[in-house]
Amino acid sequence: MTEFPKKQQFAPSLPETEDDSIDLAALAGTLWRGKWIIALATALALLIGGYYAFVVATPLYRATSVVILQTKQDNIVDLQSVVGGMSGDSTEVNSEIEVLRSRGLMGKVVDRLDLINDPEFNGELREPGLVANVTGGIRNSIGALFGGDEASELSDIEAQSRRDAVVSALLDKVSISNIRQSLVFNVTVETESARKSARIADAIVELYILNQIEVKFEATEQATTWLTNRVGELQVELEAAETKASDFSSRTELVSIEGLQALERQIKDMRERIATAEQTVSSAQAELEGLRAAEAIEDKVALADDTQLTRMAQRLDDGPEMVAAFDNRYQMVINRKALDLARAEQQLEALRRSAVELERQVARQGQDLITLQQLTREAEATRTLYEYFLTRLKETSAQQGIQQADSRVLSNAVVPGAPSEPRKSRILALSMILGMMIGAGIVLLREMRNNSFRTARELENHTGLTVLGQIPEIPAGKRPNVLRYLLDKPTSAAAEAVRNLRTSLMLSNVDNPPQVILSTSSVPGEGKTTNSLALAANLLGLGKRVLVIEGDIRRRTLNEYFPTLPTSGIVGVLSGEMRFEDAVHRPADFGADVLAGDKTATNAADLFSSDRFRDFIEEMRGRYDAIIIDTPPVLVVPDARIIAQVADAILFTVYWDSTSKQQVEEALRMFDQTKQRISGLVLSQISARGMKRYGYGGQYGAYGAYGAKYYTE
Closest by CA position to 468, among listed 700, 668, 701, 680 = 680
Of the listed ranges 59-73, 119-133, 284-298, the one predicted with least confidence? 119-133
Q: How many domains does the chain have?
A: 3
Q: How far apart are CA 476 and CA 474, in angstroms?
A: 6
| 538/603 same-domain check | yes
Q: Give counts: helices (H), strands (E), the chain.
A: 24, 11
Q: How far apart are CA 15 and CA 153, in angstroms?
A: 72
**Average pLDDT over the chain, rounded to an integer:** 82
| 317/371 same-domain check | yes
| 519/594 same-domain check | yes
Of the listed ranges 354-363, 549-558, 573-582, 672-681, the one predicted with least confidence? 354-363
Instruction: Kindly state whether residue 626 falls inside one of the protein's structural domains.
Output: yes
| 503/439 same-domain check | no
Instruction: Kindly state whether residue 634 falls inside one of the protein's structural domains.
Output: yes
- Evaluate if residue 92 carries a pLDDT over 90: no
- Evaluate if residue 285 carries a pLDDT over 80: yes
Instruction: Kindly state whether residue 436 falls inside one of the protein's structural domains.
Output: yes
pLDDT tens for each residue of 164-179: 999 999 999 999 999 8
| 492/607 same-domain check | yes
| 618/691 same-domain check | yes
Please give the C-alpha separations between residue 316 and each of 189, 216, 290, 301, 545, in angstroms, as whole numbers. Answer: 141, 117, 22, 12, 199
Query: Helix axis angle, 194-251 relative to 90-100, nearest 10°?
Result: 120
pLDDT tens for each residue of 610-623: 999 999 999 999 99
pLDDT tens for each residue of 436-456: 999 999 988 887 888 889 888
| 514/641 same-domain check | yes
| 505/622 same-domain check | yes
Q: How far apart are CA 62 and CA 137, in angstroms?
A: 37
| 503/648 same-domain check | yes
Instruction: Kindly state whether residue 613 falls inside one of the protein's structural domains.
Output: yes
Q: How far apart are CA 649 and CA 458, in angstroms?
A: 22
Its domain, for residue 314, covers 257-399
Q: How far apart are CA 136 and CA 130, in angstroms?
A: 10
CATH number, domain containing residue 649 = 3.40.50.300
pLDDT of amino acid 535: 93
**Buried-exposed string 534-552: b where 16+ CB fall within 10 A, e elsewhere:** bbbbbbbeeeeebbbbbbb
- Evaluate if residue 687 carries a pLDDT over 90: no
Instruction: Kindly state whether residue 236 falls inside one of the protein's structural domains.
Output: no
pLDDT tens for each residue of 520-557: 999 998 999 999 999 999 999 888 999 999 998 877 88
DSSP string, 309-359: HHHHHHTGGG-HHHHHHHHHHHHHHHHHHHHHHHHHHHHHHHHHHHHHHHH
User: Which amino acid, one-letter code, is at 399?
Assistant: Q
pLDDT tens for each residue of 104-136: 999 999 999 999 998 888 888 877 655 556 666
| 441/472 same-domain check | no
Instruction: Kindly state whether residue 222 falls inside one of the protein's structural domains.
Output: no
Of the pLDDT bands very low, low, confident and very high (cuts 50, 70, 90), residue 10 is very low
| 365/470 same-domain check | no
| 274/391 same-domain check | yes
Of the pLDDT bands very low, low, confident and very high (cuts 50, 70, 90), residue 340 is confident
pLDDT of amino acid 231: 83
- Evaluate if residue 4 carries a pLDDT over 50: no
Please give the C-alpha separations between residue 283 and each of 6, 333, 470, 506, in angstroms, as whole numbers. Answer: 149, 15, 152, 161
Residue 577 near residue 624, CB atoms below 8 Å: no
DSSP state of 564: T
